[in-house]
């Protein structure tokens, strides 16, 4: 092989080798990140209009998860006008100023993809007061009160 061909060919071989190594590293790292990912379900509240609060579950993790958690909703100094469970969720009164939304045990769990919100219900109150929501502490599966 002539010196001119070596001078031209060796840099391309080196750069191609570095590119293949970087691509392999990226693919391996991506697979490990997916394999070690976990879901992080949290509650988000929206107020599209006065006295109305919509409840969403959002997966903040990087792995899809089944919706099997119950959500407790509470509010101060207002009466409940109406509430409705959505997306296979049912609402039930837990006291005068609180509700629990829980998944219907007879239906299969919905899978929640990362960063995709899922509306599970809404609450309409007599006054425009702050509503508090949290994942129920005894939520280990499709439980109901």
CB 83 within 8 A of CB 91: yes
Q: What is the pLDDT of residue 56?
A: 95
Specify the number of domains making up the chain.
2
Q: What is the pLDDT of residue 105?
A: 87
Q: In the predicted model, what is the mean pLDDT of the chain? A: 86
Q: Are residues 93 and 69 in the same domain?
A: yes
Q: Are residues 55 and 17 in the same domain?
A: no
Q: Are residues 53 and 107 in the same domain?
A: yes
Q: Rounded to whole angstroms, how far apart are CA atoms 54 and 91?
A: 13
Q: Are residues 81 and 63 in the same domain?
A: yes
pLDDT mean over 10-28: 90
Q: Is residue 12 part of a domain?
A: yes
pTM of the predicted model over 0.75 = no
């Amino acid at each position: 092989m002539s010196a001119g061909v070596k001078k031209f060919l060796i840099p391309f071989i080196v750069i191609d080798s570095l590119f293949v190594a970087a691509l392999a590293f990226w693919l391996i790292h991506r697979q490990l990140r997916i394999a070690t990912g976990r879901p992080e379900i949290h509650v988000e509240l929206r107020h599209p209009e006065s006295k109305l609060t919509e409840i969403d579950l959002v997966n903040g993790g990087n792995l899809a998860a089944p919706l099997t958690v119950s959500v407790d909703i509470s509010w101060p100094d207002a009466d409940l006008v109406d509430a409705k469970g959505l997306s296979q969720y049912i609402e039930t009164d837990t006291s005068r100023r609180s509700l629990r939304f829980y998944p219907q045990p007879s239906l299969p769990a919905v899978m929640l993809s990362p960063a995709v919100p899922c509306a599970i219900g809404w609450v309409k109150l007599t006054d425009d007061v702050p509503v508090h929501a949290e994942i129920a502490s005894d939520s280990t599966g499709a439980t109901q009160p």
